[in-house]
Structure 1
């Protein structure tokens, strides 16, 4: 196996293991290989190979199906961007789909720095009033 192929296999294993450990509903633990297989149509043996770094040539349809299962962009497997940055971008995109959030962002765009801080402070107060953390935890 070439050095580039080894790097690709390692990237797939790293990404897949990160997704397993971190991309699941808060109220439950990580998805199992059988759950992912059932949700994607990808065989358990293929998924186990991806997890262990033993699958050196997964099909593009496999990578797309697994990415879709975890709600991440398919290029997560091959991008040069740090994984945390890719996932933050995706989570931000998903949050912005909420029309209320998008409207707040669009209405805030022309505010000066002082007024943007005022809006951010008001959001912190609103979050606290609901018993939420002052800020959303960021992805690693």
Structure 2
């Protein structure tokens, strides 16, 4: 196996393991390999190979199915951007589509910095009124 191929296998394993450790509902632990297999149609042996870095040529359909399962963009496997940045971008995009948040952001884009701060302060007050941590960024 060439060095480039080894790097690719290592990257897929690192990405898959990151997704396993970090992309699951807050109220539960990581998904199991059998759960992912059931949710994607990808065999457990293929998923175990990806996890261990032993699958040196996963099919594009496999990578797309696993990305879809974890609700991440398919290019997560090949991007040069740091993985955390890709996932933050995806979560922000999903949150923006949610219940009027996009509208709030778009309507505030032409405001002065002072007025944007005023809007941010109002959101802090609203979060406090709901018993939410005023400084915490909400999860989509």
> Normalised by the shorter chain, which TM-score bucket?
over 0.9
Q: Displacement of 1:137 after TM fit?
A: 6.7
The two structures, once aligned, show a CA RMSD in angstroms of 1.3
Normalised TM-score (structure 2): 0.94
Unaligned regions of 5+ residues in structure 2, if any?
none
Aligned to 2:75: 75
Q: Displacement of 1:99 after TM fit?
A: 4.1
Aligned to 1:2: 2
Aligned to 1:27: 27
Unaligned regions of 5+ residues in structure 1, if any?
none
Aligned length: 138
2:91 pairs with 1:91: yes
In 1, the alpha carbon distance for the partners of 2:4 and 2:138 equals 34
Larger displacement relative to structure 2 (96-105 or 60-69): 96-105
- Secondary structure of 1:88 counterpart: helix
2:78 pairs with 1:39: no
Q: Displacement of 1:133 after TM fit?
A: 2.2
In 2, the alpha carbon distance for the partners of 1:122 and 1:11 equals 43
Q: Displacement of 1:79 after TM fit?
A: 0.3
